[in-house]
Amino acid sequence: MEKEFNSCLLCPRMCGINRNKNELGYCRAGSKIKIGGYHLHRWEEPVLTGKNGSGTIFFSYCNLRCVYCQNYDISTKNKGDEITIRRFSDICLFLQSKGATNINLVTPTHYIPLIKKGLLLAKKRGLNIPIVYNTSAYENISSLQLLDGLIDIYLPDLKYFSNALGKYSQVENYFYYSTRAIEEMYRQVGKVAYNKDGTLRRGVLIRHLVLPGHMEDSKKIMEYLYNKYQNNVIVSLMNQYTPIRKLEYPNLNHKVSSREYNNLIDYAYDLGFRNCFVQDEESQNTSFIPSFKGDSLI
């Protein structure tokens, strides 16, 4: 039983519920790790994918409710299987044995105390590849500090500059919490550093999913990131937004246009970004959306 679960304050929702007594907060997660699957993921940024793929573990539940979520089956419908800390360490070692470039923890916030124990155990058993913390960035600094020294690469989103856009994720003050969380991530791991093969060994890679009709908000995010970090972090401008169901927000019911996206790329370049990944239009294809069918395929 994790003491942090007696009154859960792991994320900015600050629910204060007792997960050890099966009370459910906003994210709906319990006191055991639950995952939707794990596999070698070959469609991350090249510095994460490497030769064989990123060893990705998808955690069930989420502390956001993004209306456009592509992992809806596990984040909101809560599909998945409960596993022990020992099983989690087994999975990490299995992915490493299959040649994974890293261990990529997707939406891990609500399991931080359990993940910490699992990583420590896995490292004792021989885990030696980089650990990636893949998050919405809606985090509490105190929770991230529990992982200090265990995470090599932080992979946060920076979704919105304007608080008004938080409606898409049922969140308030997103920019406040996410930017402070990213500051803590940067404090822990510092400037980007690479392995000899060009894969990322350490650092912060910040993703921004470009949304249709919100180019000015995206530009403000780019301005903030460049003024704060210059090229000491990597930025990934994601063009993969794809409406997978009809939404109540008309502007979100179509893809980002080439004109919008290319204009944002030019804007980021003119600011001074050089450590920046971009995507082509093929990334908007629904075939890139992960499928969670209860199996874990390598």
pLDDT at 282: 56
pLDDT digits (tens, 9 = 90+) for 80-115: 999 999 999 999 999 999 999 999 999 999 999 999
Can you tell me the distance from the alpha carbon of 45 to that of 194, in angstroms, rounded to the nearest whole number?
14
Task: Tell me the two tokens of residue 250.
Answer: 């008309």
- Where do the DSSP E strands lie in the chain? 33-41, 54-59, 81-83, 103-106, 131-135, 153-156, 193-194, 200-209, 234-238, 276-277
Task: Tell me the two tokens of residue 253.
Answer: 């019911």
pLDDT band at 263 (very low <50, low <70, confident <90, very high): very high
Average pLDDT over residues 39-53: 96
pLDDT digits (tens, 9 = 90+) for 112-155: 999 999 999 999 999 999 999 999 999 999 999 999 999 999 99
Closest CA to 128 of 116, 119, 136: 119
pLDDT at 291 over 90: no
pLDDT band at 244 (very low <50, low <70, confident <90, very high): confident
Distance (Å) of CA 1 to CA 87, 107, 258: 17, 21, 50
Q: What is the pTM of this model?
A: 0.93
Task: Count the neighbouring beta carbons within 10 Å of the beta carbon of residue 173.
Answer: 11
* 291 compared with 5, residue with greater pLDDT: 5
For the chain, give the percent of residues with pLDDT over 70.
94
Q: What DSSP line would sit under 141-196, residue for residue? A: HHHHGGGTTT-SEEEEB---SSGGGGGGGT-SSHHHHHHHHHHHHHHHH-S-EE-T
| CATH number among 3.20.20.70, 1.25.40.10, 3.40.50.300, 3.20.20.80, domain 3-285 | 3.20.20.70
